[in-house]
Structure 1
Amino acid sequence: MIVLIPAYEPDERMLELVDALEADGCRMLVVDDGSGASSAALFANIERRGVVVLHQAQNDGKAAALRRGLAHIAARWPGEDVVTADSDGQHRPADIAAVAEATSGGEALVLGGRAFSGAVPLRSRFGNAVSRALFRMSGGALHDTQTGLRGIPASRIPEVLAVAGERFAWEMNVLLDFTRRRVPIREVPIETVYLDQNAASHFRPVRDSLAVLRPLLRYVLVSLGSFVLDVAALQALYAATGELLLSAIGARVVSGAVNFALNRTVVFRAHGTTGLRRHLVRYLLLACGLLAGSYLGMSLLIVWGVPLLAAKIISDCAAYICGFMLQQGYVFAHRARDAKKAPSREPFSFCARRGT
């Protein structure tokens, strides 16, 4: 097990964390994300303790630091699981150990989930609430989507490295990608720690949380484009044939085919021919189901005294949201490939071994 610590302009709290982990016999890798001359003495102090430190020439963001660290670990210590921990003192050694134990020998991504109880800074509480809500809108269900304490099994490192994104948004993209592919994600309760009102954090609560909205925004734009295409095709076919029913069916087939193709490739990024037939069958079944659900919902609302227009808007909006969530979580989802079984390991003992 390797503890990976990305750091940008850290303070003495990182030294305290390194000392505590060193006392437990941990192997660590620290990535200096372009902190500059002001932090040079601190990193030199850490290196004198025998800890490997990788130096970035400039501040490229947390995602770049984590990716470099993970790639280095995969090459230098193949087969070793990784726990990522922040450098600002928010992650206690006992919590790091708990996440490491939950990760060892498994295939799940493990998150150290905070309860956000007690004295939590307002911007952190707000940022986590926004991020959690947006993640649910995108089809996921996790309590703490912003935690930097994560356990990554060795077999999952290539999958994590393959996820696109920069800075803090990348960590959210990993969760979205794993959720879409149905890779198991576990949450382990950890202590909620904020020091000095979380002043050392470089996270931007609203801007970085809104990165999760990108798939939803693409979905909305594709839906609007499909609607415009449906209307244009209907007018063109009706002008050519004079048959309303035939024109309506033809227009829906054209717009539906385009909608399916764009949702599959642009919105949910299910590229390639693998699973094309399965995706198409699921898409057609979902379309029929949403149509029936919208009709039943509208009928019930009308029976309950809701005006027709309002009933139509409510039922269609509900169907639209369900359509997004089901397309991401079911229609265009695919099970992660079974990872190759790692070689048998010794019984877990957190940081019991040293060495490089």
Structure 2
Amino acid sequence: MIILIPSFEPDEKLPELIHALNDSGTGIKIVIVDDGSGPRFEAIFRQAETLGAIVIGYPHNHGKGQALKTGFSYIAANLPGHDVVCADSDGQHCVTDILRVAQAVEPNNSIVLGERHFSGQVPLRSSFGNSATRFFFALATGTWLRDTQTGLRGYPAQLLPWLLSVRGDRYEYELNVLLEARSAGYTFESVSIATIYISENESSHFRPLRDSLRIYAPLLKFSMSSFMGFLVDTVAFLVLMAATGSLWMAVVGARAISSAANFAVNRRLVFPEGRSAPLKGTALRYFALVVVLLGANYGLLISFTEAGLPALPAKILTEIVLFLLSFAVQKRFLFRERATAKEEKSATNIYSQAQLSTVTDSAQLHAEV
């Protein structure tokens, strides 16, 4: 078992964690990735090496996702066959919980998540962020996880090549792992862990605005695409109404034009993982979805108004429900990645070779400092 700790500008909690892991008597190996912390933190990493940890890294910060993938590459090349538990270096994961997650990892396709229950005093940004991400994850995958942002995770050794193929370099990487795990055939297991926040989580390097944009990018892009579709539909409706004088032709024609534009944008920009799916089949399913949503729109409006809801609130509620439904269907079924095993293996090998080169250079850098 390997404990992998990505670390950026750590404090004394990092050597304290290593001390505690060493005192556990389990004999586990510890690999630390210095994510470009800089010379001011060299003493902390030297102390970690003195305590028996393997320290690798690089001179400039690239983000947590890149640090994790660098660690996975190093372990696959130098410590093959070992399962990996990822833990944070800021004191949020106690040794007892780390070892419990490690014990739950088995040689199968399951990812073990250390799930917090967010009881007691939890910083507002952490509580809101986890709630929002839980909802987004359930919407995109149909799977409800209590804690989608946990940094304490266990991976069987055979998952390392796949982990290197997942997109993302910063905080979005860990969410992408969960989003892509289902379609890759992997399942989840959970272990309850303590919820620990030290000094309102001030040691966290999570940047609320920038990193949240990265995490929720698919939903934000889908929102913009939908708004673009609305504008195209409105303009096309006005033009066709003026040209034909037929309300029916204007409505149908405008919806056909806006749907085609929306499909192109979603396939190219919003859900790029679906580009590998056959264009003809995807387009047919998309326009079938458009027809279903049109019928659902009418049905929901009738239901809400007959239930006593005024027309405007009924329309707004209907659009919100169908917006979320449309996103979920397109994300989970319409634009799912269709990469073959051969293509995935090739992409993974290319990425692994690049990562191993980085690891070799970074390990030499630490040895020379």
Q: TM-score, normalised by structure 1?
A: 0.82
Q: Equivalent residue for 1:313?
A: 316
Q: Equivalent residue for 2:45?
A: 43
Structure 1 residues 116-136: Cα deviation after superposition (integer angstroms, max 9, x where no partner): 123434443344334434545
Secondary structure of 1:17 counterpart: helix
Secondary structure of 1:270 counterpart: helix
Q: Equivalent residue for 2:106?
A: 104
Distance apart, 1:337 and its partner CA: 6.9
Distance apart, 1:165 and its partner CA: 3.0
Percent identical among aligned pairs is: 43
Structure 1 residues 142-178: Cα deviation after superposition (integer angstroms, max 9, x where no partner): 2212211112233333333333334323323333343
User: More helix per residue: 1 or 2?
Assistant: 2
Q: Equivalent residue for 1:162?
A: 165
Q: TM-score, normalised by structure 2?
A: 0.79
Task: Measure, in 2, the Cα distance between the counterparts of 1:196 and 1:308.
Answer: 48
Task: Measure, in 2, the Cα distance between the counterparts of 1:335 and 1:188.
Answer: 32
Task: Measure, in 1, the Cα distance between the counterparts of 2:276 and 2:67.
Answer: 34
Q: Equivalent residue for 1:118?
A: 120
Call closer, same or farther: CA 1:155–1:265 in 2, change over 3 Å.
farther
Structure 1 residues 194-222: Cα deviation after superposition (integer angstroms, max 9, x where no partner): 33443332223455334333212211221
Task: Measure, in 1, the Cα distance between the counterparts of 2:139 and 2:152.
Answer: 23
Task: Measure, in 2, the Cα distance between the counterparts of 1:2 and 1:294.
Answer: 52
Call closer, same or farther: CA 1:294–1:69 in 2, change over 3 Å.
same
Secondary structure of 2:273 counterpart: coil
Consecutive unaligned residues in structure 2, runs of 5 or more? 346-369
Distance apart, 1:4 and its partner CA: 0.6
Task: Measure, in 2, the Cα distance between the counterparts of 1:303 and 1:177.
Answer: 41
Q: How does 1:38-187 map to 2 (within 5 A)?
A: 38-136=40-138, 138=140, 141-178=144-181, 183-187=186-190
RMSD: 3.1
Task: Measure, in 2, the Cα distance between the counterparts of 1:336 and 1:28.
Answer: 34
Q: How does 1:27-42 map to 2 (within 5 A)?
A: 27-42=29-44
Does the Cα contact within 8 Å between 1:135 and 1:212 map onto a contact in 2?
no
Consecutive unaligned residues in structure 1, runs of 5 or more? 341-356
Distance apart, 1:5 and its partner CA: 0.7
Distance apart, 1:241 and its partner CA: 5.7
Task: Measure, in 2, the Cα distance between the counterparts of 1:121 and 1:249.
Answer: 49
Q: Equivalent residue for 2:300?
A: 297
Count how many residue pairs are aligned between Structure 1 and Structure 2: 340
Task: Measure, in 2, the Cα distance between the counterparts of 1:79 and 1:277.
Answer: 42
Distance apart, 1:25 and its partner CA: 0.7
Q: Equivalent residue for 1:203?
A: 206
Task: Measure, in 2, the Cα distance between the counterparts of 1:285 and 1:124.
Answer: 39
Q: Equivalent residue for 1:351?
A: none
Does the Cα contact within 8 Å between 2:167 and 2:176 map onto a contact in 1?
yes
Call closer, same or farther: CA 1:305–1:127 in 2, change over 3 Å.
closer
Q: Equivalent residue for 1:343?
A: none
Task: Measure, in 2, the Cα distance between the counterparts of 1:177 and 1:219.
Answer: 18
Does the Cα contact within 8 Å between 2:123 and 2:201 map onto a contact in 1?
yes
Structure 1 residues 3-62: Cα deviation after superposition (integer angstroms, max 9, x where no partner): 111122323322232233333111221112233333323322322344221032133332
Does the Cα contact within 8 Å between 1:127 and 1:206 map onto a contact in 2?
no
Secondary structure of 1:35 counterpart: coil
